[in-house]
Amino acid sequence: MERRPVKRAIAVHEAGHAVVGVVLGAKVDSVTIIPTWHACGSCFVDTSTLSSEHARMVNLAGDTALHLFEPHLYPILQSYLRGEAHMKTGRLRNKLNTELASIGVAELTDAEADAAIPDTQSAVKGVNKPDQRTAIFTAVTHAVDVLERHRLALSILTDELMLVGTVTGQRVVEIVRGAWRKQAA
């Protein structure tokens, strides 16, 4: 499989977590698209100071950004992740299910995960408790709002990740603040 579209999908996904994290006031340590033994990329965001709704927004922001701004890349990434998961004997899992599991929500089926976000109705089909479904729907809706308002920052961070592979948390803050000033001017 061609690596460039996969790399871009991972960059958009990780940039989504980072941008939403910074906007909501979380500390971002770094964001990377350099693969490790267990992940294709990572965004290290400390959500411990955020409300549960804001932490949920950060967790769901990766796939939300990908669906919002690069929807054609989502199937490529999912196919890549599934192939990697088989090749690495299951060490990689579906990103959406991983994110949902991190907030205590039951896994979605493959079909539901493929439908995913921002079609929030599809994203919450596999969740059984109405309050969890509402919480996910609300978090995704708010994440979409944040990402749309900070689209320039997401684009700049994605491009920088494509060039250098890893960006520090301080640089993410600079990008978000700088892009916001450009948009406001």
Q: Where are the chain's structural domains?
A: 3-184
Each residue's pLDDT tens digit, 122-165:
444 455 566 677 778 888 889 999 999 999 999 999 999 999 99
Residue 26 contacts residue 80 (beta carbons within 8 Å) = no
> What per-residue confidence (pLDDT) applies to 90?
36
Residue that is written with structure tokens 């896994």 in the block: 107
> Which strand (E) or helix (H) includes residue 42?
strand 42-46
Q: 3-184: which CATH topology?
A: Methane Monooxygenase Hydroxylase; Chain G, domain 1 (1.20.58)
What distance in Å separates the CA atoms of residue 78 and residue 5, rounded to the nearest whole number? Answer: 12
What distance in Å separates the CA atoms of residue 146 and residue 136, rounded to the nearest whole number? Answer: 15
What distance in Å separates the CA atoms of residue 24 and residue 45, rounded to the nearest whole number? Answer: 11
pLDDT above 50 (res 118): no
> What single-letter amino acid sits at 159?
D
Q: Which of 28-32, 98-102, 177-181 has the lowest mean pLDDT?
A: 98-102
Residue 66 contacts residue 33 (beta carbons within 8 Å) = no
Residue 148 contacts residue 129 (beta carbons within 8 Å) = no
